[in-house]
Amino acid sequence: AQKVTQAQTEISVVEKEDVTLDCVYETRDTTYYLFWYKQPPSGELVFLIRRNSFDEQNEISGRYSWNFQKSTSSFNFTITASQVVDSAVYFCALSGLSGAGSYQLTFGKGTKLSVIP
């Protein structure tokens, strides 16, 4: 069975600080995909990034960056110079084979980020 752990339940930072959200995953698959989603107060999940298990390059998109380390089964997300609009719940997710033999998306429990002005 696959599992995603986001150990940080809630984080508060002051605006302009950098913050890293941790994600650790477990899977027996050799091919899998990792995702990050943002859930603002409106409730809709917004896709941020997808990474496949064969691509360990870090990625940067504006103030967002992701660090994928297969050796530690981690896919961490860093926001640089945080802004109030970054306040949301962030979910890490893993796509891999379920016990039923089909692919499923497994979510972590989420990290609630509060950016204080």
Partner 1 sequence: DGGITQSPKYLFRKEGQNVTLSCEQNLNHDAMYWYRQDPGQGLRLIYYSQIVNDFQKGDIAEGYSVSREKKESFPLTVTSAQKNPTAFYLCASSIDAVGTMNTEAFFGQGTRLTVV
Q: Binding residues for partner 1, per CB under 8 A?
A: 4, 9, 33, 35, 37, 42-47, 50, 52, 91, 95, 100, 102-105, 107-110
Closest distance of CB 46 from partner 1, Å: 8
Closest distance of CB 78 from partner 1, Å: 20
Q: What angle do CA 40, 41, 43 make, to 5 degrees?
A: 75
Report d(CA 80, CA 64) in Å as an integer: 6
Residue closer to partner 1 (CB basis): 76 or 95: 95
Rama region for 16: left / alpha / beta (φ>0; ψ in -120 to 50; rest):
left
